[in-house]
Amino acid sequence: MRRLLLFAVVAAAVLTAAGTAGASRATRECNGFPRCVPVAGPWVLSTGRAETEWQLACPKGFVVGGTDAELTNRALDVVFRATLGSPVNPGISTSRSAVFLGRLAAGRDPAASFRPHIGCIPGAGGGDRVPSVHHRVYPPGRPTVLRATTVRVAAGAIRHVTRTCRAAERLVRSSDAIGFRSRQPPSPAAAQGVHVRRTTHGGRVTATIHGGSAVSGARAVVQLDLLCAGGG
Protein backbone atom coordinates (compact mmCIF):
# COMPACT_ATOMS: atom_id res chain seq x y z
CA MET A 1 0.00 0.00 0.00
CA ARG A 2 2.87 2.35 0.87
CA ARG A 3 4.51 1.57 -2.47
CA LEU A 4 1.30 2.40 -4.32
CA LEU A 5 0.98 5.67 -2.41
CA LEU A 6 4.61 6.57 -3.11
CA PHE A 7 4.15 5.78 -6.81
CA ALA A 8 1.07 7.99 -6.95
CA VAL A 9 2.93 10.90 -5.32
CA VAL A 10 5.90 10.54 -7.72
CA ALA A 11 3.59 10.26 -10.74
CA ALA A 12 1.73 13.42 -9.70
CA ALA A 13 5.02 15.28 -9.30
CA VAL A 14 6.17 14.18 -12.78
CA LEU A 15 2.89 15.29 -14.34
CA THR A 16 3.11 18.66 -12.59
CA ALA A 17 6.68 19.17 -13.80
CA ALA A 18 5.69 18.17 -17.32
CA GLY A 19 2.86 20.68 -17.29
CA THR A 20 5.20 23.44 -16.17
CA ALA A 21 7.83 22.56 -18.77
CA GLY A 22 5.18 22.53 -21.48
CA ALA A 23 4.92 26.30 -21.22
CA SER A 24 8.32 26.58 -22.91
CA ARG A 25 9.22 24.13 -25.66
CA ALA A 26 12.65 22.61 -26.10
CA THR A 27 14.67 24.57 -28.63
CA ARG A 28 17.14 23.13 -31.15
CA GLU A 29 19.82 25.79 -31.63
CA CYS A 30 22.56 23.35 -30.50
CA ASN A 31 21.39 20.25 -32.40
CA GLY A 32 24.23 18.47 -34.22
CA PHE A 33 27.11 20.24 -32.47
CA PRO A 34 29.33 18.29 -30.03
CA ARG A 35 30.30 21.53 -28.28
CA CYS A 36 27.74 24.29 -28.13
CA VAL A 37 26.74 27.06 -25.74
CA PRO A 38 23.03 27.94 -25.90
CA VAL A 39 22.15 31.63 -25.52
CA ALA A 40 18.55 32.76 -25.08
CA GLY A 41 17.40 36.30 -25.74
CA PRO A 42 14.47 38.17 -24.21
CA TRP A 43 10.87 38.05 -25.40
CA VAL A 44 10.86 40.63 -28.20
CA LEU A 45 7.62 42.43 -29.00
CA SER A 46 6.67 42.18 -32.66
CA THR A 47 3.10 43.36 -32.91
CA GLY A 48 2.85 44.88 -36.38
CA ARG A 49 3.53 44.29 -40.07
CA ALA A 50 6.81 46.21 -39.93
CA GLU A 51 9.89 44.13 -39.09
CA THR A 52 11.26 44.16 -35.57
CA GLU A 53 14.96 43.29 -35.26
CA TRP A 54 16.96 42.06 -32.29
CA GLN A 55 20.68 41.30 -32.17
CA LEU A 56 21.85 38.40 -29.99
CA ALA A 57 25.57 37.77 -29.45
CA CYS A 58 27.74 34.77 -28.54
CA PRO A 59 30.49 34.85 -25.92
CA LYS A 60 33.92 35.96 -27.11
CA GLY A 61 35.66 33.31 -29.22
CA PHE A 62 32.41 31.72 -30.41
CA VAL A 63 30.31 32.10 -33.58
CA VAL A 64 26.65 31.37 -34.22
CA GLY A 65 26.22 27.75 -35.28
CA GLY A 66 22.47 27.35 -34.94
CA THR A 67 19.33 29.41 -34.42
CA ASP A 68 15.82 28.87 -33.15
CA ALA A 69 12.96 30.86 -31.65
CA GLU A 70 9.89 30.54 -29.48
CA LEU A 71 6.69 32.28 -30.59
CA THR A 72 3.59 33.41 -28.74
CA ASN A 73 1.58 33.62 -31.96
CA ARG A 74 1.68 31.23 -34.94
CA ALA A 75 1.31 34.20 -37.31
CA LEU A 76 4.74 35.53 -36.33
CA ASP A 77 7.26 35.25 -39.16
CA VAL A 78 10.78 35.10 -37.69
CA VAL A 79 14.01 34.75 -39.68
CA PHE A 80 17.64 35.78 -39.15
CA ARG A 81 20.00 37.77 -41.36
CA ALA A 82 22.85 35.78 -42.93
CA THR A 83 25.84 36.73 -45.10
CA LEU A 84 26.23 35.45 -48.66
CA GLY A 85 28.98 32.88 -49.17
CA SER A 86 29.73 29.23 -49.85
CA PRO A 87 29.40 26.82 -48.24
CA VAL A 88 26.56 27.98 -46.01
CA ASN A 89 28.40 27.50 -42.73
CA PRO A 90 29.07 29.00 -39.31
CA GLY A 91 31.79 31.62 -39.70
CA ILE A 92 30.79 32.27 -43.32
CA SER A 93 27.03 32.75 -43.18
CA THR A 94 27.17 33.81 -39.53
CA SER A 95 29.47 35.71 -37.20
CA ARG A 96 29.63 36.20 -33.44
CA SER A 97 26.10 37.62 -33.41
CA ALA A 98 22.82 37.02 -35.20
CA VAL A 99 20.15 39.57 -36.08
CA PHE A 100 16.61 38.18 -35.83
CA LEU A 101 13.81 39.76 -37.85
CA GLY A 102 10.20 39.26 -36.82
CA ARG A 103 6.83 40.50 -37.99
CA LEU A 104 3.21 39.61 -37.32
CA ALA A 105 2.01 38.37 -40.70
CA ALA A 106 -1.71 38.20 -39.92
CA GLY A 107 -4.23 39.30 -37.34
CA ARG A 108 -3.79 41.66 -34.42
CA ASP A 109 -2.03 40.87 -31.16
CA PRO A 110 -0.77 43.69 -28.91
CA ALA A 111 1.43 41.25 -26.97
CA ALA A 112 2.82 39.15 -29.86
CA SER A 113 6.45 38.32 -29.14
CA PHE A 114 9.26 35.95 -30.07
CA ARG A 115 12.22 34.72 -28.04
CA PRO A 116 15.40 34.27 -30.13
CA HIS A 117 17.90 31.50 -29.39
CA ILE A 118 21.41 30.95 -30.75
CA GLY A 119 23.76 28.02 -30.40
CA CYS A 120 27.36 29.22 -30.07
CA ILE A 121 30.26 27.05 -31.23
CA PRO A 122 34.04 27.66 -31.11
CA GLY A 123 34.98 30.27 -33.71
CA ALA A 124 36.32 29.16 -37.08
CA GLY A 125 37.23 31.36 -40.03
CA GLY A 126 35.48 30.84 -43.30
CA GLY A 127 38.45 31.72 -45.47
CA ASP A 128 38.95 34.64 -47.79
CA ARG A 129 36.61 35.25 -50.67
CA VAL A 130 37.97 34.95 -54.19
CA PRO A 131 37.81 38.38 -55.85
CA SER A 132 36.26 38.80 -59.24
CA VAL A 133 38.54 39.40 -62.24
CA HIS A 134 36.26 42.16 -63.47
CA HIS A 135 37.18 45.44 -61.84
CA ARG A 136 33.55 46.61 -61.68
CA VAL A 137 32.13 43.48 -60.10
CA TYR A 138 32.69 42.65 -56.44
CA PRO A 139 31.90 39.69 -54.20
CA PRO A 140 29.38 40.22 -51.38
CA GLY A 141 30.94 41.63 -48.24
CA ARG A 142 29.89 43.41 -45.09
CA PRO A 143 29.53 47.09 -46.03
CA THR A 144 27.38 47.77 -42.96
CA VAL A 145 27.55 46.87 -39.29
CA LEU A 146 24.79 46.90 -36.71
CA ARG A 147 25.69 48.84 -33.54
CA ALA A 148 23.29 47.67 -30.83
CA THR A 149 22.76 49.12 -27.36
CA THR A 150 20.47 47.45 -24.83
CA VAL A 151 19.15 49.44 -21.86
CA ARG A 152 16.96 48.49 -18.93
CA VAL A 153 13.52 50.02 -18.48
CA ALA A 154 12.49 51.19 -15.01
CA ALA A 155 8.83 51.42 -14.04
CA GLY A 156 7.63 55.00 -13.74
CA ALA A 157 10.84 56.45 -15.18
CA ILE A 158 11.83 58.28 -18.35
CA ARG A 159 15.26 57.67 -19.83
CA HIS A 160 17.05 59.36 -22.73
CA VAL A 161 19.67 57.35 -24.62
CA THR A 162 21.76 58.90 -27.43
CA ARG A 163 24.06 56.91 -29.71
CA THR A 164 26.11 57.58 -32.85
CA CYS A 165 28.06 55.47 -35.31
CA ARG A 166 31.82 55.25 -34.82
CA ALA A 167 34.34 57.60 -36.39
CA ALA A 168 34.51 57.30 -40.20
CA GLU A 169 31.10 55.61 -40.24
CA ARG A 170 27.80 57.09 -41.34
CA LEU A 171 24.31 56.28 -40.18
CA VAL A 172 22.17 54.37 -42.69
CA ARG A 173 19.09 53.82 -40.52
CA SER A 174 18.04 53.16 -36.94
CA SER A 175 15.42 51.07 -35.19
CA ASP A 176 14.35 50.06 -31.71
CA ALA A 177 12.79 46.97 -30.15
CA ILE A 178 11.26 46.15 -26.79
CA GLY A 179 12.15 42.95 -24.96
CA PHE A 180 11.39 41.21 -21.67
CA ARG A 181 14.05 39.10 -19.94
CA SER A 182 11.58 36.71 -18.36
CA ARG A 183 11.00 32.99 -18.77
CA GLN A 184 7.38 33.58 -19.79
CA PRO A 185 6.10 36.00 -22.45
CA PRO A 186 5.01 39.43 -21.21
CA SER A 187 1.42 40.07 -20.21
CA PRO A 188 -0.63 42.39 -22.45
CA ALA A 189 -0.39 45.09 -19.77
CA ALA A 190 3.40 44.82 -19.56
CA ALA A 191 3.70 44.69 -23.36
CA GLN A 192 1.86 47.99 -23.64
CA GLY A 193 3.67 49.53 -20.68
CA VAL A 194 6.86 50.49 -22.52
CA HIS A 195 6.88 53.43 -24.92
CA VAL A 196 9.82 54.48 -27.10
CA ARG A 197 10.16 57.70 -29.08
CA ARG A 198 13.17 57.75 -31.42
CA THR A 199 14.56 60.85 -33.14
CA THR A 200 17.56 61.40 -35.41
CA HIS A 201 19.50 64.63 -35.86
CA GLY A 202 22.88 65.03 -37.53
CA GLY A 203 23.71 61.35 -37.28
CA ARG A 204 22.80 61.20 -33.59
CA VAL A 205 19.95 58.89 -32.62
CA THR A 206 18.09 59.55 -29.38
CA ALA A 207 15.57 57.18 -27.82
CA THR A 208 13.24 58.49 -25.14
CA ILE A 209 12.06 55.48 -23.14
CA HIS A 210 9.11 55.61 -20.76
CA GLY A 211 8.26 52.67 -18.52
CA GLY A 212 4.76 52.50 -17.07
CA SER A 213 3.81 50.98 -13.74
CA ALA A 214 2.81 47.71 -15.45
CA VAL A 215 6.43 46.88 -16.27
CA SER A 216 7.39 46.61 -12.60
CA GLY A 217 9.07 43.22 -12.18
CA ALA A 218 8.80 42.42 -15.90
CA ARG A 219 12.55 42.97 -16.54
CA ALA A 220 11.85 45.08 -19.62
CA VAL A 221 14.68 46.22 -21.91
CA VAL A 222 14.95 48.29 -25.08
CA GLN A 223 17.50 47.65 -27.80
CA LEU A 224 18.50 50.65 -29.92
CA ASP A 225 20.05 49.58 -33.24
CA LEU A 226 22.13 51.77 -35.56
CA LEU A 227 23.00 50.42 -38.99
CA CYS A 228 26.33 52.04 -39.86
CA ALA A 229 28.33 52.05 -43.09
CA GLY A 230 31.79 53.11 -44.19
CA GLY A 231 33.80 51.92 -41.22
CA GLY A 232 35.88 49.33 -42.99
Q: What is the per-residue pLDDT for 137?
A: 77
The DSSP annotation for 80-126 comes to E-----SS--TTTT--SEEEEEEEE-SS--TT-EEEEEEEEEE----
Reported confidence tier of residue 115, pLDDT bands at 50, 70, 90: very high
Give backbone dihedrals phi and psi of 20, rounded to 5 degrees, phi first. Answer: -70, -40
* pTM of the predicted structure, to 2 decimals: 0.82
Q: What is the average pLDDT across 146-165?
A: 97
**pLDDT, average across residues 20-43:** 84
